[in-house]
Amino acid sequence: MTAPLTPRDNQPPEEPRNPEAAPAADHGGPVGPELARELREGALIALLVAVTGVLLGLLWNWLAPHVPLIADTRNVYLKNTEGEESIGADGTFLLLAFGFGVLTTAAVFLFRRRGGMPLVVALVVGGLLGAALGWLTGMWLGPSPDVAAHARDVGPGVAFDGPLRLQAKGALLAWPIGAMLTQLVLSALFGPPDPEPEVPYWLQGQQEQQEQQPEVPQWLRENHEQRPPSEG
């Protein structure tokens, strides 16, 4: 029969560790407080970026060239069959959306110098929503999409503007592409440096041993490399 072990230096004995009974609240539960805060900020940023799509629609309706149409008593025709107004409307939307992606991302970076995946996702989602909102706003503010009714109102032989349309739907991606490129450039130029990776615990002993080894003088290293000629 053995005597119970007494703790050294009158210290209380250590309690057995049970990983299953460890509290999960130390790290904020399944989602930490830092990640939760970044998610809330990302949702707010996505909403604010998407709302600016209304301004995109206003500028697109103002700057994009409109397609002139003309009608007779039966049909509606293009006034200028060789015109490039449709391509010009798509190009105007593309340039405006890309510019909005650059400006909104620069504004977000100015007030929030940190990056992170939630911020990138917020900029992409907000850019897509803003581009779609700008597209719908521009069409709603433009001429009536009911071409036949518009032709009856103006009368035959009178030119009128056709509805504002976006033929190339891929232009909706110009905003998120501009946002991602701007975020990448600004983070590389002005973002905080990445923290140095920690040395694994199984390599820390080897690193300490290498640091403790004395440095060999240069003259001894040179004399050691000069070997005497072989005999015979």
Read off the pLDDT of residues 55-87 as tens digits, 9 standing for 90 and up: 999 999 999 888 777 777 677 656 666 556 678
Where in the chain does DSSP place strands (E)?
68-71, 76-78, 160-161
- Give which of 144, 148, 143 is closest to 75, Cα–Cα: 148
Residue-wise pLDDT tens digits, 112-156: 776 678 888 999 999 999 999 999 999 998 887 766 676 676 767
CA distance 134 to 143: 15
Between 40-49, 71-80, 215-224, the lowest mean confidence (pLDDT) is in 215-224
Quick check: 149 and 76 in contact, CB under 8 A? no
Q: Is 193 helix (H, G, I), strand (E, B) or coil?
A: coil
- pLDDT at 220 exceeding the cut of 70: no
Per-residue confidence band for 170, with pLDDT thresholds at 50, 70 and 90: very high
Quick check: 38 and 112 in contact, CB under 8 A? no
98, burial (CB in 10 Å: exposed 0-12, middle 13-18, buried 19+) = buried
Residue 200: both structure tokens together: 């694994």
What is the side-by-side strand order in the sheet with 76-78? 76-78, 68-71, 160-161
Q: Is 70 helix (H, G, I), strand (E, B) or coil?
A: strand
| pLDDT recorded at residue 138 | 92
Quick check: 153 and 71 in contact, CB under 8 A? no
